[in-house]
């Protein structure tokens, strides 16, 4: 018989799947207003909370790694996942509220042939993103305030690829669709892995793009099949990556040659093992990096016992001030990353240079408790739903500038594992970058007038 906390966690796990199903149904319903952004947010939240809680209800899993045992216990996982579930439920409620409140727009115009879409601007977006996000990114990251521009450029690349995939689906060009899907799921994550040593960034990008594809691709049974297979392969890739992560990062961060980096990356798939939930090493890899619940649980416990005091809005103020460019405020104390916050509220201390994200659930809790988690996620749901509806509207109108204007900043909000300082700085940089690209660099662009500007959903 399961202990009470474990039984409650199983209920939360099942209800979480229900929340995902509701979000997918919202994207699939007739005349949907979604471009996939709420699903992308909830899916990224699932990655860092749901899987970590799931392995702790498996009767045969018992953590053994010293690092995991030093962070917390099974009880902390249950406590942290409870807050994550409340946040996910509040977020979904905020999204659904906006769907109910919004009056559907009637689109009586006939659907034009998708091949008539003017794709010159997406090409310009992609070229701009490659230039700022890849070619001169090493230079930008050394200049105050310009480092975030390279991150915004990477998000612009995501928005541009979303347009290309939308065009391929509407034009029913399978070869183009598969090409851009390959770019999204393989090429971009591979480049990020080889040059930066991180897999998570590539996963977040892939989830955002796939969430948009889910809104438009038909037949849907193929999507369901692809999602199930892709999820299993993705988790299998993750556990293999974790087996080689240390050597891979030593090669990348140690300044070794590109050939050496590629060789180390190839080792990830050389001795590829499929995910096995009865393999304790595989479960440990999931527990070590896909389980934000233990840290959240430690923070919750410390605040409930009085060992640590609530922040009372301190991190909200910091996230607001973080939007001020460092070039205007050179002594700005707010920095990217949140390891100090995690140490402060969990009373755990990590080696210098270790990156540990506080995550949105924990940061909301440490400010004003459980109510803050629910209200904060509810507001996030409303905000992302508004941006999502606008992005979908302008995507359907083929107004690429306004689509990017809404979609690009929204991708900055989908940093569920980072701090609110990271989120606000990224969104601010995205807004500035959007303005410069749309009104300065590409301000003279005028779309062709050879097709109707709107088609039905």
Task: For helices 37-54 and 370-396, give the axis angle rounded to 10 degrees.
Answer: 140
In the predicted structure, residue 108 carries a pLDDT above the cut 50: no
CB contact at 8 A, 391 and 403: yes
User: What's the pTM?
Assistant: 0.91
Kindly give the residue spans of alpha helices, DSSP state H, lying in 102-199: 120-130, 137-140, 147-171, 174-182, 188-196
pLDDT of residue 154: 87
Rounded Cα gap, residues 138 and 158, in angstroms = 20
Digit-coded pLDDT (tens) for 203-223: 889 999 999 999 999 898 998
pLDDT of residue 114: 41
User: For residue 308, what are its two tokens?
Assistant: 């640590």
Digit-coded pLDDT (tens) for 182-193: 999 988 888 888
Instruction: Write the CA distances from 452 to 117, 176, 447, integer angstroms.
Output: 9, 23, 12
Rounded Cα gap, residues 396 and 33, in angstroms = 10
CB contact at 8 A, 405 and 434: yes
In the predicted structure, residue 236 carries a pLDDT above the cut 90: yes
Rounded Cα gap, residues 175 and 157, in angstroms = 20
Length of the chain: 457
CB contact at 8 A, 363 and 357: no
pLDDT of residue 112: 44
Rounded Cα gap, residues 157 and 151, in angstroms = 10
CB contact at 8 A, 69 and 63: yes
Mean pLDDT of the chain: 86
DSSP 201-212: HHHHHHHHHHHH
CB contact at 8 A, 153 and 132: yes
Digit-coded pLDDT (tens) for 311-367: 999 999 988 888 887 777 777 776 665 558 898 999 988 776 667 889 999 999 999
In the predicted structure, residue 380 carries a pLDDT above the cut 70: yes
CA dihedral of residues 190, 195, 200, 204 (deg, nearest 10): -70
pLDDT of residue 339: 56
CB contact at 8 A, 421 and 322: yes
Digit-coded pLDDT (tens) for 36-81: 999 999 999 999 999 999 999 999 999 988 889 888 889 999 999 9
- Going from N- to C-terminal start, the domains of the chain cover 4-441
pLDDT of residue 352: 67
């Amino acid at each position: 018989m399961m202990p009470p906390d474990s039984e409650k966690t199983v209920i939360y796990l099942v209800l979480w799947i229900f929340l995902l199903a509701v979000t997918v149904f919202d994207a699939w319903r007739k005349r949907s207003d979604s471009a996939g952004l709420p699903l992308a947010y909830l899916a990224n939240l699932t990655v860092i909370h749901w899987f970590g809680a799931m392995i702790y209800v498996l009767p045969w899993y018992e953590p053994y790694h010293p690092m995991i045992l030093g962070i917390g216990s099974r009880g902390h996982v249950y406590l942290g996942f409870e807050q994550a579930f409340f946040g996910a439920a509040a977020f979904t409620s905020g999204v659904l509220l906006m769907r109910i409140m919004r009056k559907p727009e009637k689109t009586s115009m006939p659907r034009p042939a998708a091949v008539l879409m003017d794709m010159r601007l997406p090409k310009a977006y992609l070229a701009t993103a490659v230039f700022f996000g890849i070619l001169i990114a090493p230079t930008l990251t050394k200049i105050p305030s310009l480092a975030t521009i390279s991150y915004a450029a990477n998000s612009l690349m995501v928005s541009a690829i979303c347009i290309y995939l939308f065009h391929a689906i509407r034009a029913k060009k399978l070869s183009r669709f598969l090409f851009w899907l390959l770019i999204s799921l393989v090429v971009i994550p591979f480049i990020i892995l080889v040059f930066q040593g991180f897999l998570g960034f590539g996963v977040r990008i892939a989830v955002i793009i796939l969430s948009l594809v889910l809104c438009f691709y038909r037949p849907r049974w193929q999507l369901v099949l692809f999602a199930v297979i892709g999820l299993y392969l993705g988790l299998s890739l993750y556990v293999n990556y974790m087996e080689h992560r240390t050597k891979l990062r030593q090669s990348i961060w140690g300044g070794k040659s590109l050939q050496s980096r590629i060789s180390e990356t190839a080792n990830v798939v050389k001795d590829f093992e499929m995910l096995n939930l009865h393999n304790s090493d595989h479960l440990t890899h999931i527990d070590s990096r896909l389980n934000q619940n233990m840290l959240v649980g430690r923070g919750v416990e410390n605040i409930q016992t009085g060992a640590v005091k609530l922040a009372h809005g301190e991190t909200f103020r910091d996230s607001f001030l973080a939007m001020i460019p460092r070039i205007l405020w050179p002594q700005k104390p707010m920095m990217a990353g949140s390891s100090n916050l995690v140490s402060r509220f969990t009373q755990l201390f990590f080696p210098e240079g270790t990156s540990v994200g506080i995550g949105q659930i924990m940061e909301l809790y440490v400010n004003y408790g459980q109510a803050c988690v629910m209200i904060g996620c509810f507001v996030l749901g409303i905000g992302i739903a508004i941006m999502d509806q606008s992005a979908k509207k302008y995507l359907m109108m083929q107004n690429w500038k306004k689509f990017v204007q809404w979609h690009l900043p929204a991708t900055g909000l989908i940093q569920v594992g980072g701090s609110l300082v990271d989120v606000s700085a990224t969104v601010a940089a995205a807004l500035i970058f959007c303005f410069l690209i749309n009104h300065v660099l590409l301000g003279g662009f005028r779309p062709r007038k050879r097709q109707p500007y709107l088609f039905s959903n």
